[in-house]
């Protein structure tokens, strides 16, 4: 009798937990599931967090973090890895070591440093460690503020595209530079994808949506891109599909409310 068993298309997210459910691991699992893959998770830290901000960050002990990574990587084959909050050099070193040991592919790294609320999510000395880790990623997805921290100068409309290229060449990786924080009167938002291997530049346009309900957009975008890579799409197509998914989720959450602050995007169109 023919064996009809088929493996899940699986994505691993390595990130922090958001107790409010809008960002971090929780947003990643929702995005991966909504985009068609199975989500596994490794938690780097827990946060006391809601729609209004981050109240506290509690680091997961390094030994337990290492065991989480060992448990899933030794058992499950992943088509892509999404990496989010890496708040210390110790965390970065443990994650780097385990990913090298298991020779994983399709690493999408969201260089999370500052939350949308303005709360800092990384220790000062960890920024340099993060920079050293970036070349291990196949794609990084910084917003404007994170990109400015990475290259040390301001970014505006005049140098948006060249900054994406500069980051990619400096850190030897492909870059999706997100334009959501750019001051612009245009009705469209532009993201720039720089493909490091080919040197190609792709502009991705989506309609600008007037809403404050954008909690978790960065986490959701990087995890959805990882999902589409896992499903076999090219980098350009995975990025385009991920951007389209998040833009639709923002639109679907525009008229929703949750808590007293900035509500999350609507991952499932609920």
Cα separation, 268 vs 270, in Å, equals: 5
Give the active site residue among 218, 230, 242, 243.
218
Catalytic-residue membership of 219 = yes
Phi, psi dihedrals of residue 123, rounded to the nearest 5°: -70, 150
Confidence of residue 107 (pLDDT cuts 50, 70, 90): very high
Please check the confidence at residue 258 and state whether its pLDDT lies above 90.
yes
Give the active site residue among 9, 82, 98, 178.
178
**48: Cβ–Cβ under 8 A, 6 or more apart, which residues?**
19, 54, 55, 56, 57, 58
Is residue 25 classed exposed, middle or buried when 0-12, 13-18 and 19+ CB atoms within 10 A define those classes? buried
Confidence of residue 219 (pLDDT cuts 50, 70, 90): very high
**162: Cβ–Cβ under 8 A, 6 or more apart, which residues?**
none
Please check the confidence at residue 183 and state whether its pLDDT lies above 90.
no
Confidence of residue 72 (pLDDT cuts 50, 70, 90): very high
Phi, psi dihedrals of residue 66, rounded to the nearest 5°: -65, -40
* Per-residue pLDDT at 132: 96
Cα separation, 31 vs 228, in Å, equals: 11
pLDDT in tens, 83-104: 999 999 999 999 999 999 999 9
* Per-residue pLDDT at 118: 60
Please check the confidence at residue 186 and state whether its pLDDT lies above 90.
no
CA angle 97, 222, 52 (to 5 degrees): 105
**91: Cβ–Cβ under 8 A, 6 or more apart, which residues?**
44, 45, 59, 62, 65, 126
* Mean pLDDT, all residues of the chain: 93
Give the active site residue among 24, 179, 216, 242.
216
* Backbone dihedral region for residue 32 (phi beyond 0: left; psi -120 to 50: alpha; all else: beta): alpha
* Per-residue pLDDT at 180: 77
CA dihedral 247→248→254→256, nearest 10 degrees, is: -130
pLDDT > 70: percent of the chain:
95
Do you know the residue count of the chain? 270
CA 15 from centroid of its chain's CA atoms:
9
* Per-residue pLDDT at 26: 98
* Per-residue pLDDT at 182: 75
* Backbone dihedral region for residue 8 (phi beyond 0: left; psi -120 to 50: alpha; all else: beta): beta
Catalytic-residue membership of 214 = yes
The structural domains of the chain, ordered by start, are 10-253 (3.40.1190.20)
Please check the confidence at residue 151 and state whether its pLDDT lies above 60.
yes
Catalytic-residue membership of 129 = no
Please check the confidence at residue 269 and state whether its pLDDT lies above 90.
yes
Give the active site residue among 44, 141, 217, 227.
217
Please check the confidence at residue 1 and state whether its pLDDT lies above 60.
no
Catalytic-residue membership of 6 = no
104-114 average pLDDT score: 92
166-194 average pLDDT score: 88
Catalytic-residue membership of 22 = no
Question: What order of strands is seen across the sheet that includes strand 10-18?
Answer: 53-59, 38-50, 10-18, 80-83, 107-109, 139-140, 174-177, 188-194, 201-207
Give the active site residue among 35, 219, 230, 243.
219
* Per-residue pLDDT at 116: 60
Confidence of residue 212 (pLDDT cuts 50, 70, 90): very high
CA 48 from centroid of its chain's CA atoms:
20
The answer to whether residues 224 and 250 touch, using CB atoms and an 8 Å cutoff, is no
Give the active site residue among 173, 190, 214, 227.
214
Span of 7-21, 176-190, 241-255 with lowest mean pLDDT: 176-190
Catalytic-residue membership of 96 = no
């Amino acid at each position: 009798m023919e064996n009809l068993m088929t493996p899940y298309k699986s994505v691993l997210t390595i990130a922090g937990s958001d107790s409010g459910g809008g960002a971090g691991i929780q947003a990643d699992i929702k995005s991966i599931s909504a985009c068609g893959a199975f989500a596994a998770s490794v938690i780097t830290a827990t946060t006391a967090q809601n729609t209004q901000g981050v109240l506290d960050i509690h680091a997961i002990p390094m030994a337990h973090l290492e065991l989480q990574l060992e448990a899933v990587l030794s058992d499950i084959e992943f088509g892509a890895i999404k990496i989010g909050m890496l708040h210390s050099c110790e965390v970065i070193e443990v994650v780097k070591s385990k990913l090298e040991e298991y020779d994983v592919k399709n690493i999408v790294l969201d260089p999370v440093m500052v939350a949308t609320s303005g709360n800092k999510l990384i220790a000062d000395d960890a920024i340099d460690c993060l920079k050293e880790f970036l070349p291990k990623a196949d794609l990084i997805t910084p917003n404007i503020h994170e990109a400015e921290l990475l290259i040390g100068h301001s970014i505006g409309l005049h140098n948006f595209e060249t900054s994406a290229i500069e980051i990619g060449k400096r850190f030897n990786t492909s870059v999706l530079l997100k334009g959501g924080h750019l001051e612009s009167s245009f009705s469209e938002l532009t993201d720039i994808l720089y493909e490091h291997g080919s040197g190609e530049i792709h502009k991705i346009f989506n309609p600008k949506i007037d809403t404050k309900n954008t909690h978790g957009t960065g986490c959701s975008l990087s995890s959805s891109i990882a999902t589409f890579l896992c499903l076999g799409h090219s980098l350009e197509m995975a990025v385009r599909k991920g951007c389209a998914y998040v833009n639709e989720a923002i639109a679907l959450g525009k008229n929703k409310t949750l808590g007293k602050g900035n509500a999350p995007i609507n991952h499932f169109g609920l």
